[in-house]
Amino acid sequence: MGSPDFPTEDAVLQARAREAISRSWYPEGLARQAAAVIIGDHCDRREELKKIEIPVVVIHGEKDPVVNVAAGVEVASVIPGADLVLIPGMGHDLPDQLISEVYRGILRAVRHEIR
C-alpha cells in the first residue's frame, strides 16, 4: 500500500502501527471497513458527487495499488469545480516527504482557490 518512490522505514511503520492500536483498538472496525469496500465496489455515487457545492481537492497517488488512478480522476471530473492533484510516486499512504504537497492542495480548497 505504500509509496514505491517514497519508502518509509520499517521502524517508523511499526511505531505508527503501535500508536494506532493503542489509540483505538477496535477489531470490529475491520469487518465494517471490509463491508464498506464491498458496498463501494457495487454502488454508483456519481449523481451524489455532482451535488457537492463546496471547494474540493482530490489528492491521489499515481502508484496507488489499492484505488486505481482512473477512479481518482473520475471522482474529480464528476464533482463540479474539483481540483485534481496527482502525485507521482505516491501509493495509498501519506509519506512524510509528501505532506507539504498534500498540505498545499488542501490549502487551495480551504482558501477557496478552486473553481
Q: What is the pLDDT along the chain (115 residues), one digit of tens a residue?
A: 788 888 888 999 899 889 988 888 888 888 888 888 888 778 899 999 999 998 899 999 999 998 999 999 999 999 999 999 999 999 999 899 999 999 988 888 888 765 5
DSSP 8-state class, residue 98: G
d(CA 77, CA 79): 6
User: 0.85 exceeded by the pTM?
Assistant: no
Torsion (CA) 99, 100, 105, 111 in degrees, nearest 10: 120
Residues 2/91, Cβ–Cβ less than 8 Å: yes
